[in-house]
Amino acid sequence: MGAKFLTLNGQNIDGKRILMREDFNVPIVNGEVQNDLRIRAALPGIKQALAANGQVILMSHLGRPVAGMPQKEYSLRPVAKCLEKLLSMPVKFIEDWFAPNAILATDKLVLLENVRFLKGEVENDPVLSQQMAKLGDVFVMDAFGSAHRAHASTVGITDYVPLVVAGPLLAAEIQALDRIMQNPLHPIIAVIGGSKVSTKLDVLQSLILKTDTLIIGGGMANTLLAAQGHDVGASLYEPNLIPTAQKLLQLASANKCKILLPTDVVIQDGSNKQLSEIQASDKIMDIGSDTIQVFSDAISLGATIIWNGPLGVFEDSRYAAGTEAVAVAIAQSKAFSIAGGGDTLAAVEQFNLNNKISYISTGGGAFLEYIEGKTLPAIQALSGAGK
């Protein structure tokens, strides 16, 4: 937190080989990029590097392939095509990173194949880090979405390139997140959804300590409702986490954090029910209409708003109303608002609210870890570089 690092601005990078770590971990179906949000978010940094009239070499991971076994479904080739369209210039795609003369001095813009095909990447192997480092005179870390991973291309490499800087996307992410983490304006309201308590336990704990009001929806609310003694029928919930959920509720009251949970819900047949009306076969799929009102009113009072996780199964239009209403309430508020998380971003796009929320983080896991107050390894490496 409060990380200090060099950025691309003001550096003498003219004519240099600029090696950039991006987060192009985008959904790809049948060789086509399905959502180019992360690629578009990287464009300002790439353009800034291209303006230096040297050479720009991009690297990224995609998915979780097995190192040493390149599989087509994890190839970044579709991303090269997408970049060519977005930048209106040729992108040389290179499968074999370290083949002699793979990268020619005349190649202005290069995209290297999936960095996780290389053995040693996820182990942060120093030999691989050094090999990678030889490809650039400058290393630009702009993959905020990968900043929570200590890999060769995010951390190891920073020991071996003469100049190491943060790209504009990463710098903007940290700046926006620090507005939330350091002296945020009160009231601070967090909205947390998503399927399970277990995947977001640390986030919930940290938000209880930080925020004035914590609004909880989605599948994870079911476990908290069960912890309060409500019958959640056949809904998704985690019975083994009920004691943990009870502790979270106690922690909240001890820390004067007001927790808001749904009082009515939408079940699988689309009907709206009060909690007391839930039958054994009912599955909670979304927050109900009364709850939407209460959550929206609470959101309207916030000066700082943090949102992660859909409030229902928004992928199905029958259960999207709660997530949409909450997203609209956040968009309409005058608060400084941040939304982050893979599915949360998909929801923001689905409801066309991209420009209405103060900051939309491209990070999923990295966003959550930063909110938890953890130090992200790649940010730490950037802060230590050149010292």
Q: Which residues pair with 163 in a beta bridge?
A: 138
Whole-angstrom distance, CA of residue 258 vs CA of residue 275: 20
Query: Does 124 help bind ligand ADP (rule: CB under 6 A)?
Result: no
Minimum Å gap between C-beta 40 and ligand ADP is: 19
* Among the residue ranges 2-10, 60-68, 336-344, 370-378, the one whose residues contact ligand ADP (CB under 6 A): 336-344
- Separation in Å, CA 98 to CA 109, 115, 132, 277, 291: 17, 12, 8, 64, 57
Q: Which residues pair with 260 in a beta bridge?
A: 215
Q: What are the DSSP calls for 167-203, one per residue? A: -HHHHHHHHHHHHHHSSPPSSEEEEE-SS-SGGGHHH
Minimum Å gap between C-beta 44 and ligand ADP is: 24
Query: Does 322 help bind Mg ion (rule: CB under 5 A)?
Result: no
Whose CA is closest to 367, among 188, 218, 145? 145
* Eight-state DSSP code of residue 65: P
**Selected binder of ligand ADP within 194, 233, 262, 302 (CB under 6 A):** 194
Pick one of Mg ion, ligand ADP, none as the site partner of residue 167 (Cβ within 5 to 8 A by kind): none
Query: Does 338 help bind ligand ADP (rule: CB under 6 A)?
Result: no
Pick one of Mg ion, ligand ADP, none as the site partner of residue 156 (Cβ within 5 to 8 A by kind): none
Q: According to CB under 5 A, which residues from 329 to 358 bind Mg ion? A: 342-343
Minimum Å gap between C-beta 193 and ligand ADP is: 6
Active site residues: 38, 196, 342, 365
First to last CA, the chain: 18
Whole-angstrom distance, CA of residue 257 vs CA of residue 14: 52
* Among the residue ranges 201-209, 238-246, 337-345, 351-359, the one whose residues contact ligand ADP (CB under 6 A): 337-345
Query: Does 236 help bind ligand ADP (rule: CB under 6 A)?
Result: yes
Query: Does 310 help bind ligand ADP (rule: CB under 6 A)?
Result: yes
Minimum Å gap between C-beta 314 and Mg ion is: 12
Give the helix/strand (H/E) hosting 94: strand 92-94
Query: Does 195 help bind ligand ADP (rule: CB under 6 A)?
Result: yes
Token digits for 146? 């990968």
* Eight-state DSSP code of residue 100: T
Q: According to CB under 6 A, which residues from 199 to 228 bind ligand ADP? A: 199, 218-219
Minimum Å gap between C-beta 200 and ligand ADP is: 6
Q: Is 220 exposed, middle or buried (0-12, 13-18, 19+ CB in 10 A)?
A: buried
Query: Does 312 help bind ligand ADP (rule: CB under 6 A)?
Result: yes
Minimum Å gap between C-beta 118 and ligand ADP is: 27
**Selected binder of ligand ADP within 19, 285, 299, 330 (CB under 6 A):** 285
Whole-angstrom distance, CA of residue 167 vs CA of residue 158: 14
Query: Does 342 help bind ligand ADP (rule: CB under 6 A)?
Result: yes
Query: Does 288 help bind ligand ADP (rule: CB under 6 A)?
Result: no
Q: How many residues in the chain? A: 387
Q: Are 147 and 340 in contact (CB under 8 A)?
A: no
Residues of this chain that bind Mg ion (CB under 5 A): 342-343
Residues of this chain that bind ligand ADP (CB under 6 A): 193-195, 199, 218-219, 236, 284-285, 308-310, 312-313, 315, 341-344, 364
